Amino acid sequence: MSKYDDVQGFKDKTNLKGLDYKEFSRDDVASAPQRWSIVDQVAGNGGIPTSTSQPTPITSTDLSASAPLGFEPPAQPNAVITEKTALPGHIPHNFDRFAPPVEPKLTKTAQPESPRDVLAKGNPFNSPASVSPSAPQPENQRFKQIFSKKTSSAGEVMDAGRNTLLKPLLESIASCR
Amino acid sequence: MNKILFYFLLLLALPFILLIIIAPMSSDNQYIFGLICIAIVFILGVSKSKKVTLVMIVMSTLMSLRYIYWRATETLHFNSSLEAVLGIALFITELYALVILLFGYIQTTWSLKRTIEPLPDDTSLWPTVDVYIPTYNESMDVVRDTILAAQCIDYPKDKMKIYVLDDGKRNEFAVFCADAGVGYITRNNNHHAKAGNLNNAMKVTQGELITVFDCDHVATRAFLQATVGSFLADERLALIQTPHYFYSPDPFERNLSEASKVPNEGALFYGPVQQGNDNWNATFFCGSCAVIRRSALEEVGGFAVETVTEDAHTALKMQRRGWNTAFLALPLAAGLATERLGLHVIQRTRWARGMTQIFRVDNPLLGRGLTWQQRLCYLNAMLHFQYGLPRVIFCVAPLVYLLFNLNIIASSAGLIFAYVLPHLVMSIYINSRANGRYRYSFWGEIYETVMCFHLVIPTLLTMISPKHGKFNVTDKGALLDVNYFDAHIVRPHIIAVSLLLIGSAWGVIRLVMPDHYGANPQVIWLNIAWASFSMIILLAAIAVARETRQVRKTIRIDATLPAVLYFASGAAMRTETLDLSMGGVKLKTPDERFLNDPIEEVEISLKSGAVSFPVELIEADKSVTRLMFKEMPIEKRRELVRVVLARADAWIQTKPFPQDRPLRSLLGILRCIFELFYFSWRDRRAKKQQKRPELKRDKEQAL
Amino acid sequence: MPLVCVCSPKGGVGKTTVTANLAYALARSGSKVLVVDFDTQNALRLHFGVPISDNRGFVAQSASLSDWSQFILKVGPNLFVLPFGDVTDEQRLQFDDNLLNEPMFIQRGLSAVLKIPGMVVIADMPPGRNAAVQAMQAAADMRIMVLLADTASLSLLPNIEQHKFMSAPISDEVGEYYVVNQSDMRRTLSRDVTQFFEQRLQDKLLGTIHRDECVPEANASQRAIMDISPVSAAAFDIEQISKKVAVILGLSVGDGTYHHTTSIYGSS
């Protein structure tokens, strides 16, 4: 006896071997696909939207504009905006939502400095006050960097609007204080 | 064709039947006649055929009718009005016993062995079910597992809703229900106790079917799939009742060593009796472990509130409206038996009062809607609960002659014996044959004798004034922490025994000195024999009051399930469980590893899903390991309930009890009486040598 | 007669351990068993007590020798192992080449053994897709896929089921079965994945093997688990699997010799 089959035991003891007894999966078995993305996919479902963005095919500029450590420069989204490529275009949306006072478009001059600023900060959650003030528009710059950094390192928020995941949203709001 | 033949033969036989019943005989002839009939029955007894049982039942009926006829016509002559009163009381009592006997024969002859009605393959056709768990003041420990077990029932999640109906409005329960994910319903008042509680829940729920579980009745996972199918098969089915199976010992099983070896008190009712009722569509609701159709309930205005046995009354009301009821004799849920004799008495008194109330308030013999068979079945049930006074009378009747020298049977002792002998022997023998796997001989007398003194006044009072008295909830789950003797409960029994002892002694004296005290020796012997039998039964009843300590809060269930022990080193060992409880598990020790390698978890391997529980070692040796479960979160506890209590075949017995043997049964009862005296003496000695129990044993037993 | 191949789409699932202990279990119950190692790791022999220094094997001369059985080592009265052996790069490439291009290469090399009635040949395959697995597609009578109770293995299941790992067998008689290894019921993920496998694979799942420290300990001792620790959960699981395999292959109890005491739990 490797595993005890109590349903079979029931059928045997009641002389109802032909009984069509349906076992209903327990919560944990049924929710396994809900818990683990891989299980969900193998089960034939679409896969759980994870907080990390699903990787997409690169564009011609992706490789050349890469930061040394592989960070996406916070200003990248603006390149995206102007070039209208497929990179998570939702970042600018969030961007708009989070930082109403910030101008949606950065000037070109700000871009090359941002990665270094970011690296210099090290931790995107550092207080905004420690941001290097060398950028021409410090206020906007600071907020932009923080928000962009946040969205790229702590996990991309997948779809803007109603499908925004709550946690990263709240974290983003919190970190701008 | 067969029917006509049958009635024709019956008609032909009628004069003979009458002759057997009526024909007066001399004492010797009656002896011979009686002995011949007994001999015939014994010889027939070799065959196990049901037809032979039927023949025997007919013979026993005739013999008992003969006895009653003789009693009625020959023996009711009295010398004084006192004797007349007592004599007639005794006669009525014997008449009562005869009616019960005959009803019993009818019931067991035609019983319906219902099986599970399967559900359709398409689960979208399955009806929606609300599971009600009413509670008032029971502790969370008890109700918690009931809730978790209900969640383990195999039924589509979107078609089953579980609700805890908390008349105690306790916060602890509300929190637990939220954590577990079940509904929680309260109301503003507590009118009409459980019935009112259930009615209130009906207002805020919508399931087509309603299942009621008492707060300590843990369901097995198969509960709904075994019962719901019947509602689809029969549109007019209002109720399906399943047995109240107890996984903890009742006071008899706990306090009488012999009782745990015989079928327990409920086996007869939740077997042949309800199956007999079912045959005539007269099954009644027993308050729990049943499924009811909502529309039927609504038709009768919800659960009945007029009596204290609202369950039986509700079923009666539904049957009056033409609804059918059913009984499925499979233990699909299990509960806790009453912990103490005192509680048992309270519970049974309530049942007796309730059934008497129904008799007065909504008499099943009267009123529309019932078939005559249903009326008789209800009459049988109600008459059964009137056993208090008759049982008392039977017990103490010999005293009338032994102590007071009153003659209440106008006949010679020899003739009485000649008539009584076949009547009693045959009824005992045939009842043993018909119901021997569900009730052993003389145990019915013990169960009734325990209750009889307590029932007399409540039943009489209720009969006279049915609205009297309030509902006492039976207390479940409380612990008994010392050995003690509940003398209060059995005081009337002790008095009765004492009187009978005195009476018998006095009778012996009269026998020994016949010149001083004129006495008919045969009469004295007869009365002494009767008194002795009464004393045996009374002493057995008294023995039940010797309450043994119940240190264990969780009940251990014998089960052999495959298990794996996980050790700190990462090794995993295969073994088997010996018993399980919600507190721990006992297993066969696989090898000596436990000596050096701590056991961290135990996995119990059910095919529907193996689960692993963190444990702590209590003790282990070469053969047996005992582990205690550590505190676990709700989801884990639910898995534990699934393994320990909710297995589909957890309570289904494969081996029926061995067939009853009346003499063997009597011997067992005598042993209980002997133990009563022996253990009492031993306990008294132990108290004198005050010993403190070891802490470890208490801890171990506290599982 | 039957040729069973034990494969896996990924490495590190414990395939070789499972193969070796399955062989032990079948041999104990009386069948004659030969285990053949097709993996350059040459690890199978270590489970049977062959010292590391002993690098004999059949592959080095497999091209020239038509009968590989002369390299078979005897482990017990009815248990035999054919190690891969040490090979040069050329020999290895030649072996792969033969596997891919010589039809019936395996069947010919093992023909002497495959002819023996009642002899079960179990082939331990290298992980993933390779020449040996490809050649075995047509040769094996029964396939056993070994997977771990984790998502890395689970994610490969669709490929196996769609026959992208091994092509579909030509004949319906060739059964495809699975074994889930190192299942730890104490860990949520492992339990979830195990139960998912059970539901998904149903009867194709021969069994799941508990994660049990006795297994690596037995490997380290170069012995069978059931010899080191007969009551270990993994030993029991493998025994159950071997019984199922025996039934599927239609094996009767060998020549009557019975080599182990009945487990205290009786037979299932």
Give B555-596 as a DSSP string.
Answer: --EE---EEEEEETTS-EEEEEEEEE-SSEEEEE--SGGGGT
Same structural domain, B336 and B367: yes
Residue B346 falls within a domain, yes or no?
no
Residues B403, B322, single domain; the answer is no
Sheet containing B160-166, strands listed edge to edge, beginning at the edge strand earlier in sequence: B183-185, B160-166, B129-135, B209-212, B290-293, B237-241, B324-327
Q: Supply the pLDDT for residue B12.
A: 85
In this prediction, residue C263 has a pLDDT band, given cuts at 50, 70 and 90, of: very low
Strand pairing category for B599-606 and B609-620: antiparallel
Task: Give yes or no: residues B630 and B691 share one domain.
Answer: no
Q: What is the 3-state secondary structure (H, E, C) of chain C?
A: CCEEEEECCCCCCCHHHHHHHHHHHHHHCCCEEEEEECCCCCCHHHHHCCCCCCCCCCHHHCCCCCCHHHHCEEEECCEEEECCCCCCHHHHHHHHHHHHHCCCHHHHHCHHHHCCCCEEEEEECCCCCCHHHHHHHHHCCEEEEEEECCHHHHCCHHHHHCCCCCCCCCCCCCEEEEEEEEECCCCHHHHHHHHHHHHHHHHHEEEEEECCCHHHHHHHCCCCHHHHCCCEHHHHHHHHHHHHHHHHHCCCCCCCCCCCCCCCCCCC
Would the CB atoms of A36 and C189 count as touching at under 8 Å?
A: yes
Q: Which is the catalytic residue, given B214, B311, B486, B660?
A: B311
pLDDT grade, residue B536 (50/70/90)?
Answer: very high
Mean model confidence pLDDT for chain B? 90
Residues of C in contact with A42 (CB under 8 A): 154-155, 157-158, 196, 200
CA distance B613 to B580: 13
pLDDT surpassing 50 at residue B392: yes
Winning range, highest mean pLDDT, from A74-88, A93-107, C197-211: C197-211
| B150 and B81 share one domain | no
Contact B605 A19 (CB under 8 A): no
Chain A residues whose beta carbon lies within 8 Å of the beta carbon of residue C264? none
Instruction: Find which of C186, C187, C197, C228 to mutate to test the B interface (most B CBs within 10 Å of its CB).
Output: C186
Chain-wide mean pLDDT for chain C?
89
Q: What is the pLDDT of residue C155?
A: 93
Contact A32 C151 (CB under 8 A): no
Binning pLDDT at 50, 70 and 90, where does residue B703 land?
A: low
Count of the separate structural domains present in chain B: 4
Q: What percent of chain B has pLDDT over 90?
A: 66
Chain A residues with CB-CB distance to C268 below 8 A: 1-2
Q: Point out the catalytic residue in the list B166, B167, B214, B362.
A: B167
Residues of chain B contacting residue A24, judged by C-beta atoms under 8 Å apart: 154-157
B474-495 per-position pLDDT tens digit: 555 455 566 778 888 899 999 9
Contact list, A28 vs chain C (CB under 8 Å): 191-192
pLDDT, average across residues A31-60: 73
> pLDDT at residue A103 above 50?
no
Suggest the residue from A24, A29, A31, A34 to mutate for an interface test with chain B (most B CBs closer than 10 A).
A24
Report ipTM for this prediction. Answer: 0.89
pLDDT higher than threshold 50 for residue C119: yes
Please give the domain boundaries of chain C with CATH numbers for all domains. Answer: 3-249 (3.40.50.300)
Cβ <8 Å between C234 and B572: yes
State the Cα–Cα distance between residues A43 and C198, nearest whole angstrom: 12
The alpha-carbon gap from B559 to the nearest alpha carbon of chain A, in Å, equals: 11
Contacting subunits of B (3+ beta carbon pairs below 8 A): A, C
pLDDT of residue B680: 81
What is the per-residue pLDDT for B412? 84
pLDDT band at C152 (very low <50, low <70, confident <90, very high): very high
- Does residue B381 belong to any structural domain of this protein? no
Distances (CA, A) of B376 to A161, B218, B363, B383, C181: 72, 33, 11, 10, 65
Say what the pLDDT of residue C1 is: 79
Structure tokens belonging to residue B446: 């013990």
* Residue that wins the pLDDT comparison between C27 and B467: C27
- Contact list in A for residue B561 (CB cut-off 8 A) is 4
| Partner-chain contact B570 C195, CB within 8 Å | no
Q: Closest CB to B606: pick one of A4, A20, A28.
A: A4
B590-647 per-position pLDDT tens digit: 989 899 999 999 999 998 888 999 999 999 999 999 999 999 999 999 999 999 999 9
As a whole number, mean pLDDT of residues C211-240 equals 94
Q: Are residues B105 and B129 in the same domain?
A: no
pTM: 0.82
Which of the 8 DSSP states describes residue A143? H
Q: What are the chain A neighbours of C193 within 8 Å (beta carbons)?
A: 32, 36, 39
Task: Note whether C234 contacts B570, CB cutoff 8 Å.
Answer: no
Lowest mean pLDDT among A133-147, B176-190, B207-221, C116-130: A133-147
B167 is catalytic: yes
Residue B656 domain-assigned (yes or no): no
CA atoms within 13 A on the CB side of B628: 14
Chains with 3 or more CB pairs under 8 A to chain C: A, B
Q: What is the mean pLDDT of residues B144-155?
A: 96
Are both B129 and B104 inside the same structural domain?
no
The answer on B421 and B464 residing in a single domain is yes
CB B142 within 8 A of CB B336: yes
- What does the pLDDT read at residue A122? 43
Mean pLDDT, residues C74-90: 93
- B632 touches A at CB < 8 Å: no
pLDDT score of C168: 87
B472 and B331 in one domain?
Answer: no
Which residue has tokens 């984790």? Answer: C150
Structure tokens given for B59: 């013979």
According to the model, what pLDDT value does residue B487 have?
A: 84
Report domain extents, chain A: 67-175
Nearest CA in chain A to C268: A1
Note whether residue B58 is domain-resident.
yes
Does residue B650 form part of some domain? Answer: no
Among chain A residues, the shortest Cα distance to C266 is held by A1
pLDDT at C66: 85
Given a cut of 90, whether residue B683 has pLDDT beyond it is no
- Average pLDDT estimate for B178-206: 94
Comparing CB atoms, the residue among C189, C193, C265 nearest residue A1 is: C265
Give residue B623's domain range.
560-644
The alpha carbon of residue C71 is apart from the nearest alpha carbon of chain A, in Å, by 38
Q: What is the pLDDT of residue A95?
A: 40
The answer to whether residue B118 neighbours chain A at the CB level (below 8 Å) is: yes
- Assess whether pLDDT exceeds 90 at residue B318: yes
